[in-house]
Structure 1
Amino acid sequence: MEPLHTARRLSAAVLAVSNQLTVPEVLQTIVDTARELASAEYAALGVPDDGGSFAQFLVSGVTDAQQAAIGPLPRQHGFLAVMLREHRAQRLDDIRADPRFAWWPSAHPVLQAFLGVPIVSGDEILGALYLANKPGGFTDEDEELVRVLAAHAAIALTNARLHERNRELTIAEERARLAHDLHDAVAQRLFGLRLTAQAADLLIARDPAAARLRLAEVSALAREAAEELHAAVLELRPARLEQDGLTDVLRKQVRILDRASVPKLVFHDEDPAVLPPAQQTVMLRVAQEALHNAVRHSGATLIEVRLAGRVLEVADDGTGFDVEQTLKAGRSLGLRSMRDRACQVRGKATITSSPGRGTVVRLEVPGV
């Protein structure tokens, strides 16, 4: 194979790791590239699960009809299992002649020449690349090429793990924040409602007019508590970003918070860009964090949310604060998490504030 073509195909596979692709798409690109560059008839990439089978098993060179005839995902047996236990590559002229070979289903293609390379991160084997049936057998050059691709598969799988852990941490943080919100807002309103109802009960006999006023307060408190609960449930419910789009989701959330909160909330959309899903999610989460801070802590009378192009701004006319001093004191108010979220999509989050001058949270994401 021409060196220039090989370099281009390797480059495309490497770029797939950093592009906005799903992990299965990246791994499929890697397994297809391995088969092409090594001139193999078949290739596969397996990622094991904890139950003796495979969480993912991607193939190249096998038609959909052949896959259906072969049956369900393979178990970890024979050379599939060998490659998940041993850190070194395996190269054989005929896999069937090796005593570690087990079996394959009757509809499985007949394999002969074999090359297996583990996908390794540190001391852990994350999976393996399997290639089979190259005329004349696999070479040292083939093994080196597949090692490079296996290394990039390890990066993709490691990144996926980190993303999942970050997602779990984010969910935990948001649950804690919502619990705090419910305690501060709804629980306090319900406590006030109970006290007011008790006062009305005491006044019924001796001052019916005053009792009626207290009962009107009970009605108002109950309505406010219901609105607070509605706003909290809205945040718990997964946003319909794919169906509704970022603009509509933000507009709805601002409208509900406006009804449930003391400050006036206003939403402006000024020709917002169409963003990929990852950027939309980050935009929404940063907006929610900024709104939470503004509603609960700023003492503002007006909060404005603006979505323009690739920029989100949440501005309030509240008391403001010293940003750096707040961060140094360990009272981040979600500032660090907003910056961390922005970094996930190569965006930039800035928080501008000073005592008595309000606060502006600004997030800008790059074009893809």
Structure 2
Amino acid sequence: IVRVTGGAACTVVLIEDDDRHSWRVAASFGLPEGYVQALEAVWRTGVLLPSVDAYEQRRPVVRSDVRREIAGDPRCAPLHPFLDAVTWDTLVAVPLVVRGQAVGSLVGYYTPEQAPREDDIAFLSIIADQAAVAVENARLFVEAQGKAALEERQRLARELHDSVSQALYGIALGARTARELLERNPPQAIGPIDYVASLAEAGLAEMRALIFELRPESLEAEGLVAAIAKQAAALRARHSIEVETSLDDEPDIPLHVKEALYRIAQEALHNIVRHARATLVHVSLRPEGQHDPSEHGETGPAAPTRPTWLVLEVQDNGQGFEPEGPFPGHLGLRSMRERAAILGGTLEIHSAPGAGARVTARIPISR
């Protein structure tokens, strides 16, 4: 903006309600250090700043001779120390409006020699429209994340309740049966005791998996491989599905990539439980491809080759489905695709009615 319009500085201000209770500079360029904080202090005194004026009027606002105006207003005292350091004297504020709703303002700062023309103001308005859409998209993304987090907590609460209730009921029933048999026929008590032990082991596996989900920091501490292994153990214990795992060493990738892969694996396994009617599942995590060290200036005999992709694959022997048609679990598959796409990867689905399904996520390993 500064380069194209010849301005001296610019700011993006967000205002979250009509009462001006929430005003903040989301981005700035060309202002002295500390100026934004001083401007916020002035806003708190009730001065009608150009950014607020444009926000309220829903149209561009131009103010000239701004330095004299600031110097003559005692409420602007926090800005007085900056007057000798700045050269601009004209401000142009245009509102950020999306779907008829103002969300803030874009403010350009101009020196007397750079007096803004009509086309500069029109350009600022165009940029403001684009910025408003970006702000709204960011807000919707945060809102969606919050909704997803709430739905995830509710799902975890249901699973925690179901698994604990089921395990404790079975343990109590098995223990009572074993106690009665110990009094009448001790050898026959072995069966109920083994049943209680298996339920306790299953409950422990399930609790470990659920607690892992409730504590995201566990993924950083224990790693992606351990997280997927716990999910597999919980699936075996709770649903009596045979789960085979082929997990390579812990990958050297950022935490946010591990989180995305963990959620993809989790969603794939949940879909199998809900819809596949499978008896056998195979989960694998492996590197693929070779990175050429010479492409990045790494030379010499000690320069190792590295994988270029990390591949997560979940396969089952269930009833399968038609990937191109409507089927149960399609929303979960869309979520998995979105997670992979955000990381620059892909998600492939291979399935057919009666032939099981295979979900393959390929994520690039950046270096």
The answer to whether 1:142 aligns with 2:109 is no
AA of the residue aligned to 1:171: A
Which position in structure 2 is the counterpart of 1:38? 5
Match of 2:355 among 349, 353, 357: 357
Alpha-carbon displacement from aligned partner over 1:265-316 (angstroms, at most 9, x marks no partner): 3233499785794x55433321221133346655333412224343533233
AA of the residue aligned to 1:256: K
TM-score (norm 1): 0.74
**3-state secondary structure, aligned to 1:226:** helix
1:240 Cα shift? Answer: 6.1
1:218 Cα shift? Answer: 2.0
1:130 Cα shift? Answer: 1.6
Contact kept, 8 Å, 1:112 with 1:133, in 2: the verdict is yes
Alpha-carbon displacement from aligned partner over 1:52-91 (angstroms, at most 9, x marks no partner): 1324443333332555666758447402321221221112
Contact kept, 8 Å, 2:235 with 2:243, in 1: the verdict is yes
Contact kept, 8 Å, 1:303 with 1:315, in 2: the verdict is yes
| Residue 269 to residue 205, structure 1, CA distance change in 2 (3 Å) | closer
Contact kept, 8 Å, 1:44 with 1:130, in 2: the verdict is yes
Question: In 2, distance between residues paired with 1:233 and 1:267?
Answer: 23
Contact kept, 8 Å, 2:224 with 2:258, in 1: the verdict is no
Which position in structure 2 is the counterpart of 1:206? 184
| Residue 224 to residue 72, structure 1, CA distance change in 2 (3 Å) | farther
The answer to whether 1:52 aligns with 2:51 is no
Question: In 2, distance between residues paired with 1:320 and 1:147?
Answer: 56
Question: In 1, distance between residues paired with 2:38 and 2:54?
Answer: 25
Match of 1:249 among 200, 203, 223: 223
Which position in structure 2 is the counterpart of 1:117? 94
Which position in structure 2 is the counterpart of 1:84? 55
Q: Can you give the 5+ residue segments of structure 1 that lack an aligned partner in the other structure?
A: 1-33
Alpha-carbon displacement from aligned partner over 1:319-350 (angstroms, at most 9, x marks no partner): 2412349x635454722332344455564423
1:124 Cα shift? Answer: 0.9
Match of 2:30 among 43, 61, 69: 61
Which position in structure 2 is the counterpart of 1:266? 245
Match of 2:153 among 162, 166, 175: 175
1:102 Cα shift? Answer: 9.2
Contact kept, 8 Å, 1:89 with 1:117, in 2: the verdict is yes
Contact kept, 8 Å, 2:42 with 2:75, in 1: the verdict is no
| Residue 298 to residue 123, structure 1, CA distance change in 2 (3 Å) | same
Which position in structure 2 is the counterpart of 1:160? 138
| Residue 215 to residue 240, structure 1, CA distance change in 2 (3 Å) | closer
| Residue 124 to residue 259, structure 1, CA distance change in 2 (3 Å) | same
Matches within 5 A, 1:185-200: 185-200=163-178
AA of the residue aligned to 2:131: A
Question: In 1, distance between residues paired with 2:15 and 2:312?
Answer: 44
What's the C-alpha RMSD, in Å, of the aligned pairs? 3.6
Which position in structure 2 is the counterpart of 1:305? 284
**Greater shift in the superposed pair: 152-161 or 119-128:** 152-161
1:200 Cα shift? Answer: 2.3
Aligned identity (percent) is 26
Contact kept, 8 Å, 1:254 with 1:265, in 2: the verdict is no
Match of 1:105 among 77, 88, 112: 77
AA of the residue aligned to 2:104: G
| Residue 88 to residue 71, structure 1, CA distance change in 2 (3 Å) | closer
TM-score (norm 2): 0.74
1:160 Cα shift? Answer: 0.6
| Residue 258 to residue 58, structure 1, CA distance change in 2 (3 Å) | closer
| Residue 232 to residue 367, structure 1, CA distance change in 2 (3 Å) | closer
Match of 2:263 among 254, 279, 285: 285
